[in-house]
């Protein structure tokens, strides 16, 4: 990294001790900015880089709640309002025991550039809690969500900060959160949250958007080589919202997804994933991947290793950060994988990213490939503001156009800065310059 950029990185590490994921996310972006700053030195003036790595506001709060047996629990809540240059803070809420300030900060930082790439006028933010919804009753999840929103409601609003879902936060949680917000504010501000139910302000295609968008991005990358997804074998990790709809779109485009996973292991189904069964197990029953295997002859559960051990043409990591390391990347490459599109946020470690870039395969970082979710959230906000509702085909058409535009912006920026085909540089440079130009226009704030 150039001196000026290296200094900013060192300051981030010194100021945010122990936040390894945040350091990792910042490093990746700053490294990409070397050629950008070399060509346009004004981006390093007026402490712009120092400002962009510092959240505008960090909120941390106590979330007390009562379980079904009457015992009191205390979790920690977070909302990081990172950057509002382009619009209200926008980004999901994650409920998972691994959540801490560093995780939320890395996700919020990534969100700035992702949201910029969508060109939908949304700033970057993220939030969540170390609460684990697994194994909790609906009533417990509801009481937790109500307590969480009691504090969060002071900080959010349709023009201020608009949270959505992420790991552990789906339609059920968004419903409880919205119900409590409405009660506290005595106001039906549908635009305060996205990922809502269709009967109360949600948008068609929001559920599918992240997974669909990831696969559409992979398809666009393949098109640059005159190829399609037709007939390709695909490894998917995760079995949540993103994974399920990545599998669905891959199947629609003629590919054959053969794996999915959760924290108990991964499933290989060489005949191709039975999507109806997977949805039944995961979306309806909230079960584990083993429940799929017990009902699907020919599939098997593997509890050691990762889905990346299975020979495929395309890999779609859709579970969580750092779930694909340098060894996994080497295995994928050795077995002929030529496309990686990230549905999850930062699922590949720096070593894996280096291996993909070194091998010159089609590799799309999450901030570009999974931007379809937040882009469709912005479409949900647009429908809420206009008190209107688009049909599925209209919303999907808009998502498809946005993903194509993000793809083309990445390609153009990678070419402009001298590394054609490098989607990491392309995404970071295109996302950064749009935010940076607006920050400069707004003055020192």
DSSP per residue over 329-364, as a string? HHHHHHTT--EEE-SSSS-B-HHHHHHHHHHT-EEE
Instruction: Tell which one of 165, 175, 307, 365 touches ligand NDP (CB under 6 A).
Output: 165
Q: What share of the chain is helix, strand, coil (3-state, %, to 5)?
A: 50, 15, 35
Applying CB under 6 A, does 343 fall inside the site for ligand NDP? yes
Task: Give residues with Cβ within 8 angstroms of 41, minimum separation 6.
Answer: none
55 vs 128, beta carbon nearer ligand NDP: 128
In the stretch 11-50, what mask flags binding to ligand NDP with x, by CB under 6 A? Answer: ----------------------------------------
Applying CB under 6 A, does 344 fall inside the site for ligand NDP? yes
Supply the minimum distance, in Å, between the C-beta of residue 195 and ligand NDP: 7
Residues 74-103 that bind ligand NDP (CB under 6 A): 98
In the stretch 271-310, what mask flags binding to ligand NDP with x, by CB under 6 A? Answer: ----------------------------------------
Backbone angles phi, psi at 193, to 5 degrees: -140, 150
What 3-state DSSP class applies to 81?
strand
336: its two tokens: 């002929």
Q: Residue 343: which region, alpha, beta or left (left: phi > 0; alpha: psi -120 to 50)?
A: alpha
Residues 371-390 that bind ligand NDP (CB under 6 A): 373
Applying CB under 6 A, does 110 fall inside the site for ligand NDP? no
126 is catalytic: yes
Q: Is 213 annotated as a binding residue?
A: no
Instruction: Tell which one of 93, 258, 318, 329 touches ligand NDP (CB under 6 A).
Output: 318
CA distance 294 to 278: 12
Applying CB under 6 A, does 124 fall inside the site for ligand NDP? no
Applying CB under 6 A, does 431 fall inside the site for ligand NDP? no
# residues near ligand NDP by CB under 6 A? 22
CA distance 200 to 422: 41
Applying CB under 6 A, does 370 fall inside the site for ligand NDP? yes
CA distance 420 to 112: 23
CA neighbor of 354 nearest in space, from 373, 375, 329, 390? 329
Name the segment binding ligand NDP (CB under 6 A); options: 31-39, 159-167, 303-311, 405-413: 159-167
Q: Is 114 annotated as a binding residue?
A: yes
Pairing of strands 339-341, 362-364: parallel
130 vs 415, beta carbon nearer ligand NDP: 130
241 vs 348, beta carbon nearer ligand NDP: 241
Applying CB under 6 A, does 345 fall inside the site for ligand NDP? yes
407 vs 421, beta carbon nearer ligand NDP: 407
Applying CB under 6 A, does 210 fall inside the site for ligand NDP? yes
Q: Is 210 annotated as a binding residue?
A: yes
CA neighbor of 179 nearest in space, from 224, 141, 227, 142? 142
Side by side, the strands of the sheet bearing 300-302 are 259-262, 265-268, 300-302
Dihedral over alpha carbons 325, 326, 329, 334 (to 10 degrees): -150
Supply the DSSP symbol for 96. Answer: -
Applying CB under 6 A, does 166 fall inside the site for ligand NDP? yes
CA neighbor of 153 nearest in space, from 122, 177, 135, 126? 177
Count of Cβ atoms closer than 10 Å to residue 84 Cβ: 21
Name the segment binding ligand NDP (CB under 6 A); options: 9-17, 165-173, 183-191, 325-333: 165-173
282 vs 434, beta carbon nearer ligand NDP: 282
Instruction: Tell which one of 83, 203, 241, 348 touches ligand NDP (CB under 6 A).
Output: 241
Residues 248-277 that bind ligand NDP (CB under 6 A): 262-263
Residue number of the CB closest to ligand NDP reads: 240
49 vs 112, beta carbon nearer ligand NDP: 112
For the stretch 231-250, what's the b/e string if a residue is b when 16 or more beta carbons lie within 10 angstroms of its beta carbon? Answer: ebbbbbbbbbbbbbbbbbbb
8 vs 319, beta carbon nearer ligand NDP: 319
Applying CB under 6 A, does 194 fall inside the site for ligand NDP? no
Contacts 24+ apart (CB under 8 A), 42-45: 42/440, 43/432, 43/433, 43/436, 44/4, 44/5
Numbered residues of the known binding site = 90, 111, 114, 165, 210, 241, 377
Binding site for ligand NDP (CB under 6 A): 98, 165-168, 210, 238-243, 262-263, 318-320, 343-345, 370, 373
Name the residues annotated as catalytic: 126
């Amino acid at each position: 990294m150039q001196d000026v950029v290296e200094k900013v990185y060192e300051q981030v590490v010194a100021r945010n001790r122990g936040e390894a994921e945040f350091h990792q996310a910042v490093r990746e972006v700053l490294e990409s900015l070397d050629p950008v700053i070399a060509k346009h030195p004004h981006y390093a003036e007026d402490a712009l880089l120092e400002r962009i790595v510092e959240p505008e506001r960090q909120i941390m709060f106590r979330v007390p709640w009562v379980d079904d047996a009457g015992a009191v629990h205390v979790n920690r809540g977070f909302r990081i309002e990172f950057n509002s240059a382009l619009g209200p803070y926008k980004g999901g809420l994650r409920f998972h025991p691994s959540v801490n300030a560093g995780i939320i900060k890395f996700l919020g930082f990534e969100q700035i550039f992702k949201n910029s790439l969508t060109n939908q006028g949304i700033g970057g933010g993220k939030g969540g809690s170390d609460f684990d919804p697994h194994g909790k009753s609906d009533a417990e999840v509801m009481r937790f969500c109500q307590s969480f929103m009691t504090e969060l409601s002071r900080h959010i609003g349709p023009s201020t900060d608009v949270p959505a879902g992420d790991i552990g936060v789906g339609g059920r949680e968004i419903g409880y959160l919205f119900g409590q917000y409405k009660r506290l504010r005595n106001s039906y501000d549908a635009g305060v949250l996205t990922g809502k139910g269709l009967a109360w302000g949600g948008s068609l295609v929001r559920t599918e958007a992240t997974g669909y968008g990831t696969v559409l991005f992979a398809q666009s990358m393949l098109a640059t080589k005159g190829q399609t997804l037709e007939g390709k074998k695909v490894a998917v990790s995760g079995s949540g919202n993103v994974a399920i709809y990545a599998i669905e779109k891959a199947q629609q485009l003629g590919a054959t997804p053969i794996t999915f996973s959760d924290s108990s292991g991964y499933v290989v189904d060489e005949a191709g994933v039975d999507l109806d069964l997977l949805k039944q197990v995961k979306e309806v029953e909230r079960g584990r991947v083993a429940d799929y295997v017990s009902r699907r002859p020919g599939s098997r559960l593997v509890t050691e290793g990762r889905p990346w051990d299975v020979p495929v043409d395309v890999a779609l990591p859709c579970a969580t950060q750092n779930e694909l390391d340098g060894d996994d990347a080497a295995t994928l490459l050795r077995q002929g994988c030529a496309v990686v599109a990230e549905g999850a946020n930062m699922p590949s470690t720096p070593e894996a990213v280096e291996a993909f870039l070194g091998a010159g395969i089609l590799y799309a970082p999450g901030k570009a490939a999974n931007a379809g979710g937040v882009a469709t959230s912005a479409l949900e906000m647009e429908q809420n503001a206009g008190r209107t509702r688009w049909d599925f085909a209209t919303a999907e058409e808009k998502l498809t156009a946005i993903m194509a535009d993000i793809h083309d912006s990445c390609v153009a920026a990678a070419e402009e800065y001298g590394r054609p085909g490098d989607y990491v540089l392309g995404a970071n440079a295109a996302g950064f310059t749009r935010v940076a130009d607006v920050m400069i226009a707004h003055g020192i704030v």
